[in-house]
Amino acid sequence: MATRAPAGPTLDDIRAAREAIAGVARRTPVLPSATLTERLGAPVELKAENLQRTGSFKVRGSANKVRRLGDGCAAGVVAASAGNHAMALAHAARALGVPCEVYMPSEAPLTKIEGAEALGARVVLGGDSVDACLVAARRRADEAGMAFVHPFDDPDVVAGQGTLGLELVEDVEELGKVVVPVGGGGLASGIAIAVKSLRPEVEVVGVQVESCAPFPASLQAGEPVEVDSRLTIADGIAVKRPGGLTLELMRRWVDEVVVVSEEETAEAMVLLMEKAKLVVEGAGAVGVAALAGGQVEPARNGCTVAVLSGGNVDAGLLHEVARRHETEAGRRVVVLTRVPDRPGSLARLLTLVGSTGANLIEVQHVREGIALHVRETAVELVLETRGREHAEDVLAEIERAGYHASVLRG
């Protein structure tokens, strides 16, 4: 059963949205990326929407929706969200003087809960999942005469997200291609409508993450197909089932949807931190992942822009991503070796390691589970080196001194 095509927003709706959200959402900068430009041999720029108010593009759609509701939301607005949509609606509602309630799963990160509260929203915790919260939020809206605001499947929301596309057309010289993260599809379709209405020759490509990628199958089937969602680093786009409206808009306006891996997404986050100096959440980094991984070719003519759709990532996850990257770059190695079980042995080994310039992060005796001579003990060292080549030199030094050493990770 194919869904009937509901009405999507037009270029005029998006232009009107721009007026409506002025003062609530920011115009975010477009930054050239020397690293990606050099690596791909073609000009690449980054739309730094992670610098948007509340840390994601969502505020554009929320603000437009609240404005368009006008008196229809005098009693307030209600949303269900584990993160960005909650903070965005809270901000938009406060800026426009409208009460706001958000239903969040009890497991939502405390930073997001506090974030929504700090923006003046009443947060109602409960339910295991966003789906459960959605049911509660809709019920609350009906009972209290408040307006329920969907995160993506709403023409006013799509029109708001489309304002980002207007900025691209104005701010990027010779725009050739736009690469956009896809969760519900509101951002990608909004951008595509804006950009292609003004410049039909510009390509717009959507990117999903492998752990939750319903769009390719849904586009093929011609109707929303629900997929299972695994734990993902790109939780901001982990939407298991496209909306009826956004699926139709994506089909009509977006050229292609590609899929990237979790690994590629994590590496893109690190590349953006290390090279572009931008904190971008997993969901916001998939466009760069697709360019770096080759799923998307840069434009043949003109500039390719990757939209960094959000930057809301906990310090805890940043720390994990950075640590893993250190290991992958060979700047962090875990070495297993053995020393004689007598006084001064470990001191001698560590003196040797110190002389190689490697920094000792952790040391631990390992006596179980390893075949050892009765008078020796195994030692696990976590070392920080200057990189893969240095790590190899350090290992060679250890072996030259008569120790047997093996690398566990690094």
How far is 405 from 395, CA to CA, in rounded Å?
7
How far is 140 from 237, CA to CA, in rounded Å?
25
- Specify whether the CB–CB gap between 122 and 100 falls below 8 A: yes
Q: Which is nearer to its own copies, 3 or 359 (CB)?
A: 359
Rounded to a whole number of angstroms, the minimum distance from the CB of residue 12 to its own copies is 29
Q: Which is nearer to its own copies, 78 or 273 (CB)?
A: 273
Could you tell me how many residues make up the chain?
410
Q: Which is nearer to its own copies, 55 or 293 (CB)?
A: 55
H/E stretch holding 11 reads helix 11-21
Rounded to a whole number of angstroms, the minimum distance from the CB of residue 193 to its own copies is 27
- Lookup: tokens for 162: 């489309």
Rounded to a whole number of angstroms, the minimum distance from the CB of residue 267 to its own copies is 11
Rounded to a whole number of angstroms, the minimum distance from the CB of residue 380 to its own copies is 13
- Specify whether the CB–CB gap between 232 and 144 falls below 8 A: no
CB atoms under 10 Å from CB of 223, counted, come to 15
Place of tokens 């982990």: 238
- Specify whether the CB–CB gap between 321 and 284 falls below 8 A: no
Q: Which is nearer to its own copies, 117 or 297 (CB)?
A: 117
> Rounded to 5 degrees, what angle do the CA atoms 36, 38, 41 make?
100
Rounded to a whole number of angstroms, the minimum distance from the CB of residue 315 to its own copies is 4
Rounded to a whole number of angstroms, the minimum distance from the CB of residue 136 to its own copies is 20
CB atoms under 10 Å from CB of 183, counted, come to 30
- Specify whether the CB–CB gap between 179 and 306 falls below 8 A: yes
Rounded to a whole number of angstroms, the minimum distance from the CB of residue 87 to its own copies is 11
Q: Which is nearer to its own copies, 29 or 72 (CB)?
A: 29
Residues 6+ away with beta carbon under 8 Å from 362: 380, 381, 382
- Specify whether the CB–CB gap between 271 and 241 falls below 8 A: no
Rounded to a whole number of angstroms, the minimum distance from the CB of residue 156 to its own copies is 24
Interface residues toward its own copies, by CB under 8 A: 26, 29, 31-32, 34, 50-51, 53, 55, 106-107, 109-111, 114, 270, 273-274, 276-280, 311, 314-316, 318-319, 322-323, 325-326, 329, 331-332, 357, 384, 386-387, 390
How far is 36 from 48, CA to CA, in rounded Å?
15
How far is 5 from 182, CA to CA, in rounded Å?
20
Q: Which is nearer to its own copies, 117 or 210 (CB)?
A: 117
Q: Which is nearer to its own copies, 97 or 402 (CB)?
A: 97
Q: Which is nearer to its own copies, 107 or 170 (CB)?
A: 107
Rounded to a whole number of angstroms, the minimum distance from the CB of residue 279 to its own copies is 4
Dump the DSSP string for 322-343: HHHHHHHTTSEEEEEEEEESST
Ramachandran angles phi, psi of 381, nearest 5°: -115, 135
Q: Which is nearer to its own copies, 28 or 161 (CB)?
A: 28
